[in-house]
Every structure is written in C-alpha cells, then in structure tokens.
Structure 1
Amino acid sequence: MGQIYDLAIIGGGVNGCGIARDAVGRGNSVFLCEMNDLASGTSSWSTKLIHGGLRYLEYYDFKLVRHALLEREVLWQIAPHIIRPLRFVLPHHAGLRPAWLLRLGLFLYDYIGGRKLLPPTRTLDLTRDETGKPLAPGRFKRGFEYSDCSVDDARLVVLTARDAADRGADIRTRTRATEIRQADGMWQVTVQDTATGDRSTISARTLVNAGGPWVENVLAVGAGVNAKAKVRLVQGSHIVVPKLYNHDRAYIFQNADGRIVFAIPYQDDFTLIGTTDIDYDGDPADVKISTDEINYLCKSVSEYLARPVLAEDVVWTYSGVRPLYDDGANEAKAATRDYVFELDLPGGLPLLSIYGGKITTYRRLAEEALQKLAPYLKGTKAKEGWTADAALPGGDFDVSAVDALIAELLRDYPFLTPAHANRLAHAYGTRAAKMLGTAKSPADLGQAFGATLTEREVRYLMANEWAVRAEDIVWRRSKLGLRLSKDEIAVLDQWLQANRAQPANPMREAGARS
C-alpha cells in the first residue's frame, strides 16, 4: 500500500482548497483532486466581493452577516494584493425601502462585524456628491455610502491551493474521482487523469466532499451514504459593460422585486453588473446566461442611471451555479447563503459533505470543518486555527503598501509600463519580482501574447499555478480575456500545447520556493 493520507478532499473550489490549506498547516497529510481547473466551477463566477451581505439582514440572518463581516478585514490583511477595500453607494429609492430602515441596517452593518480598518457608513447628498452625477437627474437626492471589499475570486482559490502545496499538500487538477469505497479500514479513492486516462488509487483516513454543485454526484460514486441534506442549485449571472462612470465607488441598486443588483468598477475600464437568482435544473457545467437575465440586469441598473445600459453594450457575460443548502425557502433569493455540514460515518469512517457557503466565509468554514473532523485526524497538531494570521502567497505586506509595491516594481524593472506593474502587483504581490526574475528588458520576458501577457508569466503560471489551457490564464489566473482578441487567445493556446511538457520555473530561477 502506498502513502496513506490523513485527509482526502474532492473538489478544488474555494472550500476544498481552504480546508486543504488549513489541514496541512496543522500537520496533516492532505490529498486534493479537482476534475477540472481550480476555481473552474462556482468559485470563479461570483460577484467578486468580500462582503457581509447587507440584504441578508432582511432575512434576519444575523449570524451569517456577522461572521462574514468579521472575515472582511481578516482576508484583506492576508491577501492585500487581490483584495481591495471598496465603497458602496446605496441610493434611497422613494418607492421602496424607507430611508430609516436602510440607515438602521447600515448601523448594524457597521457595528456587529468588528470593523477596525474599513471606514464607516456616511450619508450622501446625491445632488452634490460626485456619486450622484451618473444617476438619473432629479430622481435620487439622498444615499448612503458604506464599506465592503472586492476580490479576485479565482486567484483567491489558486493562491490558497498554492500555499497548501507549498506546505506539503498533494494538489491534483484535472483529476476526477471515479470511485469511492472502503477497504482495510480506509477510504479508497480511485482517481483518473482526465488528459491521459491514467488511473490510480489513494488511501485516506477521512474524506471531505467539497464538490460544490456536484456534491450529490460525489456521493453517488460509491461513498455508501444516502444524503439527508439536499442541495439547491441557483443560477447567478453577470454582465460586463464598458465603464459607466469615472469615480471609484460601486453602487447597490434596489429593485421592486425585492432583489438588489450591484454595479462595480471592474478591471479599470469596465463595470460589472449582477447578479440574478434563478433555480437551476441541469448539469452545472452547462449553465449559461439567458436573454431574460441580460435584459433584467440592463433594466435594473437603467432605472437608476442617467444613460441606460443596453444589451448591445455587453462585452462579456458569465454564469455560475451556487450549491446552496436547500432550506425549503419559497424563492431562490431567500435561500440561506450559510454553509451546512453533513458528517456521516459509514463503516465507521468519517465523510464530511459541504453544502452552501460564500467566498467571504471560506476560511471560517475550513476551521469549522476541521473542528468537526478533529477526533478522526490523528495527525492534527493544533486544535486552533492558524490561517487568520498567515499571508497567502504574495500577500506578505501591509494593506496600505500596494502603491509602494508598484513603485518598487517600476524602479527595479524600469521597462514595465505603470499599467503592467499595477496588474502584476495586484495579481502576484511580492511574488511579482520573483516571477520577473533577472529580466532587464521586455525581450527577457519572451514572447508577447498581448495585453501585457508574456511568455515569462505564462511559464510561471504553468509551473506554479496549475495553468494548462488558455482559458485558465485569460479568465481565471487573470481577466485578460477582456482585452485579448480571439486570435491572440488562439495563439496562446497553440503555444501552450507546444510547450506543455517542459514548463520552465521562473520561481526556481529566482531562487524562490516553488
């Protein structure tokens, strides 16, 4: 028998990678398999926010909101390169929620979540403040501005996995779990490399089902468990349009149907608009935005803006399926966003399945998952969590020092443009210099694929961040797909196919741990 892992995890989304990182940091041996690319499911199709969820207060979900609010500054401080503070403007709509109710909700938002670094709520005169200028003239006179954070969701997952691997976890992407069984007092998980078809079997003392929308599919491959909980699949779709306004604040718009829609500054030159909430039935891999959803989002923001947003303005769309815990709510918008664990002991072996959850609470979810599994994890060295104080790769600097990091890159690599240095700093943090290595000129970065993407960066992503295909790089490791043409992406894909066998390691060249 080969290596026996303390913990095997199925699913490479934010929850699976978060548990892997926390567990290996406590001294456990960890195996994680993901059937596609990391964050290729739900985790990369979010609204890109680290937030408490203001609207959840209406459903009296105070516990979820408080836990999420507590996590905002924790995550910001361990990943200041990919998480940024963001101010939100909530215009008062006279026909919807009364102003006193909005202010009460924001008072709770400010004070139940241990806010220390983020600025508090303030009241706005929208007839004078610059945030009122993009709005429909004369319609919105009063508003409120409050704090949350934005996040590069897919990079959060990848960096969490990178840190887990750096600490000793065995992370295997494009590796599908095809069979789960018990033998010799262990979980036996048969996995298949989706590229080569090669199969192997690993043994583990405990098993975590972090399959997200596929959580019930994982149980169906032989776990011997009849799930008591049910997953509710909810489709959330977003649209991206050219930048709608020039200031740096986001908007949260109320709709007559009780939902809210965000309009968020995105990738410097765009505005992200979302999201929808529709029950979904089908393969989560096939989810796509509908014409009705596009029209709904355009109409929702156009009610507030001076210049309407039209369907023809949309430059990109994306949809994801949220695997919510089915609490029996009548409407998808009312279903809980909190996470639920189901711990089963078939044959005496622990199997923990995860339902629901938010990106904002992934770190806390991991801590609670390991608390539940602690009696079965013989390798656990620490009962208390450690991840709140440990920076993710590249995030080992103060939250106020991002501009200094950009300036340092421009000083040490004077051939970079400010926009290029800014992108690298926000993607890689302190590891940007390790990725650039000893480069003295643009030629040292190798082939240029467009939009500041170079061969040096692509090789780094292949060697250190599990990138295999062009879509991994232009839509998950970055959002350069918004700037690259179809032909440029095709050239990148061809290059990846030709160079997949022997990716160089810029981290190793720079003398860093890989």
Structure 2
Amino acid sequence: MSEPFDLLVIGGGINGAGIARDAAGRGLSVLLVEKDDLAAHTSSASTKLVHGGLRYLEHYEFRLVRESLKEREVLLALAPHIIWPLRFVLPHHAGLRPAWLLRLGLFLYDHIGGRKLLPPTKGVDLRQPPHAAILKPSLKRGFEYSDCWVEDSRLVVLNALDAKERGADIRTRTECTGLEREDALWRVTLRDGSGETQVQARAVANAAGPWVDEVLRRATRANAPAHLRLVKGSHLVVPKLWDGAHCYIFQNGDGRICFAIPYEREFTLLGTTDERFEGDPNEVHISDEEAAYICASVNEYLATQVHPGDAVWSYSGVRPLYEDEAASDSTVTRDYVFEVDEDGGAPILSVFGGKITTYRRLAQHALEKLDIGDKAWTADASLPGGDMAVGGHAEMVERYAWLRQHMRIEDIARLVRAYGTRIEHIFGTEEAPRETGEKIAAGVYEAELRYLRDVEFARCGDDVLWRRSKLGLHLKQADRAAIARWFEA
C-alpha cells in the first residue's frame, strides 16, 4: 500500500473542495474523493449568492452575518471572474415588516461586516423608472443594497483545481465505501468504475453534505443520532422579466423572502423554498406546491404575473443543515458545526451545515480543529483565473476581442466570466494563439472541451452543460447532443 495521505476529504461540494485546497496549500498530502461529479448536488443548486444573509439578522445570528459579510469582499477579490457585485431592491410592503425595521437591518448590514468595495444602502422611489414599469403601483418606496453573485459550481471546481495544482489528488466518480480505524491511521476502501482499491490516511474530513451522518456511522460503527435536518430549496428559471442588472428581494407573508435575479442574460432566476426533505438526496426535484409558492411570492410584487408553466428550467437541492431543533425549516441555523471523533486513534472531522459564502473560513477552522498543516494562507490567494481586477470583465473581453474571428462577442464574454485569465490556457494569446479545434456547438470549440476534460475534471456532457457552465440553457438540443457525443468518443 502506498504512503498514507495526511488528509482524506470525503465530498466534492464547496466545503470538501475548500478544505482540500486549504490543506494542500499548507503542505499536506491530500486525497479528495467524490462519488459523483464535483458540485453534483447541493453546491450547484444554490441561489448563487455570496451574501451576508439579511434575514438572519432577525434570528440574532450576528456572528454568522458578520463573518459572511467579511467573506463577501474577500471572495470577491479572490475570484472576480466568477463573483461580481449586485444591487438588490427591497420594496417596503405595508402589511409586513415596517420601514424603520428594514432601515435598521440594512444599517447593520452595511456596517457590521467592514464593507469597503461595495456601495452602501440607499432609499429608492419605486414610482420612478425602472421600477414603476416592473412592480405593482401600490409599492411606493424601498431600499437598494449590495450583495454578490457567484457561479456556485465553478467556485467548487476552481477550489478543486487549485488543490490539484498544489499537489492534491482529486478523484471524482469515486465513492468511499469503507473506513476502518487502525490506531493512528484510517484504512479506506474506495470504489470507482474500475473496482475497489485501498488507501490509508492519517485524518479524515467528512464533508459529504446530505450523506455526512451516513459516512460518520460507517466510520465509528455507532448508531449515532442524526445531526442533520435536510431542507429542500427549489428555484425556477423563467424568460427575462425586465431589462437591467438590478435584482429584487421580496418579503413573503410567512416571514420568508424570495429573490428575483437576472440570470444568464436571457432569463430571471426565482427562489427559493424551504421544505423538509426525507427522501433520497440523489433524487431531488421541485414539487408543484413549491413552484406555485415561488410564483405566488413574486406575483405579490410584479406587475406582470408569473406562472409555473412559464419556467424554462427548474432545479432543487438539499441543504444539509445542522439540527438545532428550530421549529421552522426557514429559521434553522445556516451556521456550520464540527464534530471530531478520535476514539484514541486517527481523527475524523464531520462538517454539519454551512453556506457557500463562509466555505473558506469553514475550511480554515476545520484544519485548525484537526490541528494539522502550516499556517492559514487562503485569505489573499486568488483562485485560478482570478488574478484580474474586480469589475474588470469589460477590459478582459476587449483583450480577447481577437477571438471574434471564431465566435461572437457574447461568447467571449461567457469565456471571461467562466475562466478569467485562464482563457490563455485554452486559446492562448493574440501574439501566440492556440488551435481552437473543431467547432462542436454554437460558441463551443474543441479546445474548451479538452480543457474542461483534462484540467477541470469534466467527464460527460452534463458536467459541461449544467455545472462547468449553464450552456444547457442556451444551446439547442442538437448542440447539447454534440457535446455529449464528444465526451463519449
């Protein structure tokens, strides 16, 4: 058997990828295993925001909001190609939270996280353009504040890629089927398409998301109580409801909120829901009730009504939240909790809860809890492709305008949003261009697919169409099939 790994990470979502990256950068030998594709489950099914969580202030989760707001600007600086600022408009609804409470909450939101890069909150007259044509006439005033967008599944992939480039072994489509503690080591059984293999590890980070309890029981042989509350969140994608980059956050009568966000140039993203989930996390789909709930929520505010049948796509994910015995699924904490089991031998750290915005701090705290590796380093180290200016997308598009001999300007903009400065790894530079290869689909060349396969762990068409990108929303069926055939070949 080969030399033991310092750390085995189970789970290729945002927490697992973040822990693997941090650990590899500290000089540890790291193996990450994921039974499916990276970000195949919860981490590609978020509302795609890096945010403080405005509504968490109502539940007095000030520490979580403060940490999230501080991380918002850290992550924006580390990955400005896949994270960028948004402005949200929060209408005042006369029958819900009073205006003074909204103003107080937004004052705290502006100040407790040390905001530096993003503009502050301001009042908005909703009777003026552009809002007057979008919202119902009964809505008179509101507030505009800042948060950030993130390409969630790409954030996972880039963390895994950076971990790999720092020495980590990343194995997708590889399931951990056995964990046996042998004094100071774990004997680990792995299964992939070729069969079973065994490795050893000095420590385990269990970041298996909805399966974290299952992995922990497998390791400890104990019938431990469940630590998770699985809560399903679903979203609808509908044709674009308004022009402009601003977003809306709507209050619901049940105390929850619903987002309406411009999405992929041609669409609007609506969501999310909070619904207790007790099925198979591999099989998660939006229900008719959830679709109706989302539409009813936004229709309280929008002048043009939305119906479930308008949706061109929907997606759902299961949030593996820490069970804090909260009465409501919408109020259960989004904070993360660790459990370390050593039992006199090799440790296993299990991660419960967490949110995309705090993944980097979670990873840092996990390694401190395990007390392994060198000092923390990720606060100012760009993710792959992120060594560009915040808000510098237009300049990057101009730099690669020479690619217009092959593709449209909107295709170049997509590449900038996805790869940042790593475009050079795919197409080279104007002075030293690389072969684009055959055109496989509209705006998609063989060079990009080779890069996604050889560098970004993609193994099939869906990995590209729905996780490395959202091309699945834009391409015709024939083009989607052509990408799938390319991988099969």
Structure-to-structure mapping, 1:152-171, within 5 angstroms: 152-171=151-170
Contact 1:469-1:493 at 8 Å conserved across structures: yes
Q: What is aligned with 2:437?
A: 446
Match of 2:74 in 1: 74
Map 1:344-355; keep pairs closer than 5 Å: 344-355=341-352
Match in the other structure for 1:176 = 175
Q: Give 1:413 shift.
A: 5.7
Change (3 A) 1:64 1:184: closer
CA distance in 1 between counterparts of 2:434 and 2:443 reads 13
Alignment of 1:449-464 (within 5 A): 449-464=440-455
1:400 is displaced (CA, Å) by 3.3
Give the letter for the 2:351 counterpart.
Answer: I
Residue 443 of structure 1: how far off its partner (Å): 11
Structure 1 residue 99 and structure 2 residue 99: aligned? yes
Paired position in structure 1 for 2:311: 314
Aligned to 2:213: 216
CA-CA distance at 1:417 after TM superposition = 1.9
Are residues 1:433 and 2:430 paired? no
Partner of 2:124: 124
Instruction: Quickly say closer, same or farther: Cα 1:20–1:391, change in 2 above 3 A.
Output: same
Is 2:408 the counterpart of 1:417? yes
Between stretches 23-32 and 227-236, larger displacement belongs to 227-236
2:146 corresponds in structure 1 to 147
- Percentage identity across paired residues of the two chains: 56
- Hey, what does 2:59 align to over in structure 1? 59
Instruction: Tell me which residue corresponds to 1:264.
Output: 261
Q: For 2:259 and 2:294, locate their aligned partners in 1 and report how far apart those are by CA, in whole Å.
A: 9
User: Which amino acid letter does the alignment assign opposite residue 68 of structure 1?
Assistant: S
Superposition CA RMSD, Å: 1.7
CA distance in 1, matches of 2:52, 2:4: 39
The one of 370, 380, 396 equivalent to 1:389 is: 380
In the alignment, which residue of structure 1 is the partner of 2:87? 87
Query: Within 2, Cα distance between the matches of 1:228 and 1:67?
Result: 29
Structure 1 CA distance for aligned equivalents of residues 140 and 396 of structure 2 = 40
Give the SS at the match of 2:279. Answer: coil
State whether residues 90 and 144 of structure 2, in contact with CA within 8 Å, keep that contact through their aligned partners in structure 1.
yes
Residues 402-413 of structure 1 correspond to what in structure 2 (within 5 A)?
A: 402-411=393-402
* Structure 1 Cα separation of the partners of residues 459 and 390 of structure 2: 31
Matching residue of 2:50:
50
User: Could you tell which deviates more after superposition, 421-430 or 488-497?
Assistant: 488-497
Q: For structure 1, which runs of at least 5 residues remain unmatched after alignment? A: 499-514
Do the aligned partners of residues 310 and 443 (structure 1) sit closer, same or farther apart at CA in structure 2, a change above 3 Å counting?
farther
Alignment partners' CA distance in 1, 2:221 and 2:79: 39
d(CA) in 2 for partners of 1:153, 1:104: 30
1:456 Cα offset (Å): 1.2
1:205 and 1:285 mapped to 2: Cα distance? 30
Residue type at the aligned position of 1:472? D
Q: Secondary structure, in 3 states, of the residue corresponding to 2:197?
A: strand
Work out the CA distance in 1 between the residues paired with 2:429 and 2:396: 17
Q: AA paired with 2:142?
A: G
Letter in 1 for 2:374: K
Deviations 1:162-190 (A, max 9, x none): 00000000110000001000226311111
Counterpart residue number, 2:322: 325
2:369 corresponds to: 372
CA contact (8 A) 2:183 2:346 kept: no
**Deviation of the 1:436 alpha carbon:** 1.0
1:126-152 deviations in Å (ceiling 9; x for gaps): 11242332001x211001000000000
Q: How many residues align?
A: 489
**Residue 483 (structure 1) shift:** 1.1
Q: What TM-score comes out, normalization by structure 2 length?
A: 0.97
- 4+ residue runs of structure 1 moved beyond 3 angstroms? 222-229, 411-416, 438-444
Distance apart, 1:495 and its partner CA:
1.8
| Deviates further, 89-98 or 226-235 | 226-235
Scaled by the length of structure 1, the TM-score of the pair is 0.92
The separation in 2 between residues aligned to 1:142 and 1:172, in whole angstroms, is: 51
- Residues of 1 paired with 2:408 and 2:150: CA distance? 23
Match of 1:291 in 2: 288
* Cα deviations by residue, 1:206-233 (Å, 9 ceiling, x for unpaired): 1111000010121233433554561000
For residue 362 of structure 1, report the CA deviation from its aligned partner. 0.1
Q: How far apart, in 2, do the equivalents of 1:2 and 1:443 lie?
A: 38
| CA deviation after TM superposition for structure 1 residue 258, in Å | 0.8
Amino acid at match of 2:457: W
CA shift, 1:494, in A, is 1.8
Gaps of 5+ in 2: none
Hey, what's the Cα distance between the residues in 1 that align with 2:442 and 2:338?
Answer: 43
Q: Structure 1 225/19 Cα, relative in aligned 2: closer, same or farther at 3 Å?
A: farther
Contact 1:225 1:344 in 2 (8 A): no
The 1:63–1:135 alpha-carbon spacing in structure 2 relative to 1, beyond 3 Å, is: same
Post-superposition shift, 1:411?
3.8
1:300 to 290, 297, 300: 297
